[in-house]
Structure 1
Amino acid sequence: MPFDAASFTDPNPLYTRLREESPVHRVSTPDGSPVWLVTREADVRSALNDRRLTVDKAHSGTGYKGFTLPPALDDNLLNMDGSDHLRLRRLVSRTFTPRHVDGLKDRVRAVADQLADDIAARGEAELVADYANPLPLIVIGDLLGVPDGIRRPFSRWAGAMLAPEYPGQVAEAVDHIHGYLLGLVAMRRTTPGDDLLSRLIAARDEGERLSENELVSLAFLLLWTGSENTQHLISSGLLTLIRHPGQLAALRADPGLLPAAVEEIMRFAHPNQLAIRRFPTEDVEIGGVTVPAGDTVMLGLTSANRDPARFGDPDTFDIRREDNAHLALGYGIHYCLGAPLARMEVQIALATLLKRFPRIELATSEDDLQWRPSFRSHALTQLPIRVGEG
């Protein structure tokens, strides 16, 4: 992948160049795996809904697998299509319906208020660690029945998988997560509660066609995606608003703009740069390029969401943007299952900060902001802020 330190800070200039040069590029991932990178919105949208492009790694003819995971973590929705995908999706879909998510709002507000109280007492915060990370981790932990005291380590290991700091750290993180989830499932099997994981265990143990590996893998996927993406949407969303004071002032003046503002944050600053890799089950033409069966295809979500052929003035952050059918949460059968929860959490997280703190500003220079060194995820590692009454 043609990424360097500058693209970790801001990948959009690179994607602009790639998009202008060609709709599809033959590139290599940092480990040397060859992939096809799709850059234009129309092609990305079409490919996301193309049944000939499967997420099932059994169809990888070039050997690309992404993370090396044990079966107990790998047997999840991101690696399944067809009937298996629908079967597992149905088991958890009721938890993430808009109606059920609406019933969680009071809990999310209470968590956000408590975290904001702690920030107010200090007048400053490292927003990622003090607010953006714990809020969704507490919420998804509540849903899954993860005890309070053992939630934070999971987030640290998940981050290491995406941006390892030394050779072998990914394997270490995977081992930690594997053991962690096996212990969690054993705990909930012994002492079930009124939570999603306990219900999944009951479904497994009562023979509802859920294997043990699928059970643990579902817990892994829900805990990871339920915390990882949302925390970075909160931190990147706040930074984006700080960088656009006119838009921030408009949002403060009219809180009714918040849902549209969150959609624009997702289009403009979502952490996921790429969709989960796909493998053609037959030769497929994308953007005029024939991609052979079994090769690896990566779909550029960040690039698609800034494509001027789809969005007017795409590099402008506009919370009043009307035509905003972005691809940040996917499209087609793999559309994000937790989308209603993510939207609600980000809306409440930002609304709480803006209501509590009439003044929010960076406590460091833009040049000193630290970004995750990853071609997959454009995410802040820290966001120091100062807050006040005006």
Structure 2
Amino acid sequence: MNIDPVFGADRYARYANLRADAPVERIKTPPGTPGPAELWLVSRHDDVVAALHDARLHLEQPPQYQFGIRTLLNTDPPDHTRLRRVVSGLFTRKRIQSLRIAVQAIADDLIDHLPAGETIDFIERFAVPLPITVICQMLGIPADDWRLFREWTPKIFNTDEESVTTRPAAVAQLIQYMGGLVRTKRDHPADDVTTTVIQNGKDVLSEQELLSTLMLLLIAGHETTVNLLGNGLLALIQHPDQLELLRSDPARTPDAVEELLRYDSPVSHATIRYASEDLTIAGVRIAAGEGLLLALGSANHDPALVSEADDLNVQRNGNQHLAFGQGLHYCLGAPLARLEGQLAFDTLLRRSSEISLAVEPKELQWRISPLMRGLHALPIQLSSIAPAELAATA
């Protein structure tokens, strides 16, 4: 089986077939994907959860697959513990909640500039600039530079032919940019995340680890939220009863965001794990050194997790989805993604009276990526947009 554009559009039906007939299946990765050409795809919820906690599965890449960038995403303890300790205090729930007013102002400003009655690309006009502006402000990066990062990050994550060709240059440009940022903050410390990481990482991180950590914060700080907003809005448009239920009762928004994370997870597969020894999953033998993709999106649609798992239900509570992973590598930025998602959907539904898809669903194009689940574009129309002051009192 291949990860291809069809798999991107119709992955949940194919996941269901895998869970039923081949819960651990050999797959081919797209050409140009860093790592092995073939991996084991694990699709059942209980197997995925067990694998996320299995100490025999390592994130450290075997030497033949390494390409030089070591981050929290591909290291194991004790290095992972050391790296995470440097940044663990930056994304606490209390600290993220202190950003609420700033994130709300960004969301309102973006909506103020959306034209009612015209077709717009929601990804370009809202889903991208919201989290990029937030993370740029946190890192002390000029917000005007967000377009650079939106140009570079898809080339790093996507595996289409063009991205594979341009990936080395994008990585080099991002490293160069972050190096310049570090030099600036060392000379002129500020009240921002970059300065804090530099200070916390002194005598703890190598220069390469410092740059990689900041790069990860920048990329992970916006890329997954872009997909949450795009995938989530599409899901709501395609389920108008759920959209109107949420619009009529904004108090449901936190539960709705959890359901949107489960229903169409921004990260479809966890970072590749490698078996440190021979092991067996669901009766299938995995040889030492072989790689596994843990299908978070499939696990989130497994009836073993929730009943009516293929239905979108914004009233679902107690949602134990795996969109942020689990265990040692649980997503550090989960509180930030939740805050941005809640404010984005609340503001969008509160200030717009009707949201419709401007193309046929079959025309939408999904990114080709073994890890990310997201749209290239989401053309929509907003019938009307209320001023922020009126919407706040409605």
Cα pair distance change 1:81/1:5, threshold 3 Å: closer
Post-superposition offset of 1:121? 6.3
How far the C-alpha of 1:232 sits from its partner, in A, is: 1.1
1:283: how far off? 1.7
Gaps of 5+ in 1: none
Q: 1:249 to 1:343 in 2, by over 3 A?
A: same
What corresponds to 2:15 in structure 1?
15
In structure 2, what residue type is equivalent to 1:23? P
Structure 2 contact 3–27 (Cα < 8 Å) conserved:
no
**Aligned equivalent of 2:99:** 104
Q: Are 1:37 and 2:41 an aligned pair?
A: yes
RMSD of aligned Cα (Å): 1.8
TM-score (norm 2): 0.92
Tell me, in whole angstroms, the C-alpha distance in 1 between the residues paired with 2:93 and 2:55.
27
Residue 339 of structure 2, aligned match among 331, 335, 344: 344
| Residues 18-47 of structure 1, C-alpha deviations (whole Å, 9 max, x = no match) | 221122112221236221111100000010
- For residues 378 and 8 of structure 1, the distance between their equivalents in structure 2, rounded to whole angstroms, comes to 8
Supply the distance in 2 between the matched residues of 1:324 and 1:312 (Cα, whole angstroms): 11
Contact 1:33–1:64, Cα closer than 8 Å, also in 2: no
Contact 2:3–2:28, Cα closer than 8 Å, also in 1: no
Say whether residues 1:196 and 2:200 are aligned partners. no
Amino acid at match of 2:184: M
For 1:10, give the aligned amino acid. D
1:237 and 2:238 equivalent? no
Residue 48 of structure 2 contacts residue 296 of structure 2 at CA under 8 Å; is this kept in 1? yes
**Counterpart amino acid of residue 199 in structure 1:** T
Greater shift after overlay, 173-182 or 237-246?
173-182
CA distance in 1, matches of 2:358, 2:215: 35
Residue 22 to residue 64, structure 1, CA distance change in 2 (3 Å): farther
- Output aligned runs, 1:87-102, within 5 Å: 87-102=82-97
Give, as a single letter, the amino acid of the residue that structure 1 aligns with 2:379: P
Instruction: Report matched runs for 1:181-330 at 5 Å.
Output: 181-205=178-202, 207=203, 209-330=204-325
The residue number in structure 2 matching 1:76 is 71
Q: Which runs of 4+ in 1 moved over 4 A?
A: 120-124
**TM-score normalised to structure 1 length:** 0.92
Counterpart amino acid of residue 57 in structure 2:
L
| 2:172 alignment partner in structure 1 | 175
Aligned-partner Cα distance in 1 for 2:234–2:302 = 22
Contact kept, 8 Å, 1:136 with 1:227, in 2: the verdict is yes
Distance of aligned partners of 1:385 and 1:96 in 2 relative to their CA distance in 1, 3 Å threshold: same
> What is residue 27 of structure 2 aligned with on the other side?
27
Question: How many residue pairs align between the two structures?
Answer: 379
Identity of aligned residues (%): 41
The one-letter code sitting in structure 2 at the alignment partner of 1:181 is M
CA-to-partner distance for each residue in 1:32-78, whole Å, 9 max, x for gaps? Answer: 62211111000000100111111112xx38x444xx3x3xxx12111
* CA deviations over 1:313-345 (Å, ceiling 9, x no partner): 111111122352111100001000010110010
Residue 50 of structure 2 corresponds to residue 46 of structure 1: yes
Pairwise CA distance, 1:151 = 2.2
Q: State the alpha-carbon separation in 2 of the partners of residues 236 and 254 from structure 1.
A: 21
Which is worse superposed, 255-264 or 163-172?
163-172
Partner Cα distance (1:190, 1:351) in 2: 40
Query: 2:389 aligns to what?
Result: none
8 Å CA contact 1:305–1:327 kept in 2: the answer is yes
SS in 2 for 1:14: helix
Equivalent residues of 2:2, 2:30 under 8 A apart? no
Aligned mates of 2:186, 2:117 — CA distance in 1: 41
Counterpart CA distance in 2 for 1:54 and 1:373 is 25
Q: Is the 8 A contact 2:28 2:39 kept in 1?
A: yes
For structure 2, list consecutive stretches of 5 or more residues without a partner in the other structure: 386-394
1:125-164 to 2 correspondence within 5 Å?
Answer: 125-163=120-158, 164=160
> Separation in 2 of the partners of 1:29 and 1:367?
24
Residue 367 (structure 1) shift: 2.4
CA contact (8 A) 1:125 1:384 kept: yes
Superposed CA deviations along residues 113-150 of structure 1, whole A, max 9, x for unmatched, are: 00000014675531111110010001111111112222
